[in-house]
Amino acid sequence: MGKIFITLNVSESKRLIAKGVALDPHIIKAFNKGLIIIAAGTTNAFIYEEITNNKLRDKSRYPAGVVHGGKACVTDKNTRIPYKVIANGKEIDADWKVVIEDFDHGDVFIKGGNALDSDGNVGILLADNRAGTIGKAFPIINARGAKLLLPVGLEKLIQSVPEVVNEMGTDVLDRGMGKKVGMMSINYGILYTEIEAIKRLAEVEVIHAAAGGVGGSEGSQSFILEGNKNELDKIIELLRNIKGEEPISIDNFKCPCEEPCLFPYR
């Protein structure tokens, strides 16, 4: 048995989580026979690539709501890449809002989050006062027992998601840095942080050891991994291919938006 200490920058964590999600049994089953919808998001852009072995032309065009430049913003919908829909192993050109009506218990919806707490609650920011994607998808997923995969990096760990939800809302906040937002708390689904991804990729024990850094390592996460040499070597080899993953830079904002921003883009 041995131990190693590893650190992942934010973009590296996203790639790692994506590799773990691609090996999830629910994903494999739905890919072979079923439906998978991959909602907008930066981590989900990586997940699409890992599930399909196809490269997105421009991952920066996949997010919708995003925190960027210290502001909560929404990208220009006219320049976004539509949600990816996979049916029986093939990507199809279809509106996800129509496809989800056919969901059953074996199908998978993938939605990233903006917050996570130690109780496993995931918080999803809502710029749309009708709750956007998750507001449309969650009742169907929940009612039918379909699979909801929630890839969320540990950089998003907060004290309590329910506490935040009770203090937010598009009509509760007076102003914001960017969009005024609400938040939905989700405690249904399969959570994928770096820890779950590492355990999916190798038979090792994982301890969340440290967070943060400078010089491009802001938001980074560090872990202690323990296991036999073969399993640790497996992770080390994987990390050789992940280290240096380019961060996603987004510029397709439609500014100014309809709301007065505390610190608008110039």
Pairing of strands 108-110, 90-92: unpaired
In 3D space, the residue among 7, 1, 11 whose CA is nearest the CA of residue 248 turns out to be 11
The confidence band for 249, taking pLDDT boundaries of 50, 70 and 90, is confident
Cα–Cα distance for residue pair 260/49, rounded to 1 Å: 36
Mean local confidence (pLDDT), 7-18: 98
The per-residue pLDDT for range 128-144, each reduced to its tens digit, is 888 889 999 999 999 99
Cα–Cα distance for residue pair 123/189, rounded to 1 Å: 12
> 3-class SS at 200?
helix
In 3D space, the residue among 126, 130, 148 whose CA is nearest the CA of residue 39 turns out to be 148
> 3-class SS at 138?
helix
In 3D space, the residue among 187, 219, 163 whose CA is nearest the CA of residue 11 turns out to be 219
Mean local confidence (pLDDT), 107-115: 98
Domain positions in the chain are 11-194
Supply 186's token pair. 């989700």
Supply 38's token pair. 């991959």
pLDDT above 90: percentage of residues in the chain: 82
- Of 77-86, 174-183, 194-203, the range with the lowest mean pLDDT is 174-183
What pLDDT, on the 0 to 100 scale, is given for residue 71?
87
Supply 100's token pair. 């989800």
pTM: 0.94
What pLDDT, on the 0 to 100 scale, is given for residue 264?
64
Residue 81 or residue 254, greater confidence: 81
Dihedral angle, C-alpha 60, 44, 91, 94, nearest 10 °:
-80
Q: What are the CA-CA distances from residue 127 to residues 140, 260, 266 (Å)? A: 21, 14, 21
Burial of 44 (0-12, 13-18, 19+ CB in 10 A): buried
Query: Residue 151, preceding bond cis, omega within 30 degrees?
Result: no
The answer to whether the beta carbons of residues 14 and 43 sit under 8 Å apart is: yes
- 11-194 sits in which CATH class? alpha beta
Phi, psi values for residue 50, rounded to 5°: -75, -35
The answer to whether the beta carbons of residues 37 and 110 sit under 8 Å apart is: yes
Cα–Cα distance for residue pair 86/89, rounded to 1 Å: 6
In 3D space, the residue among 122, 155, 125, 16 whose CA is nearest the CA of residue 63 turns out to be 125
The confidence band for 251, taking pLDDT boundaries of 50, 70 and 90, is confident
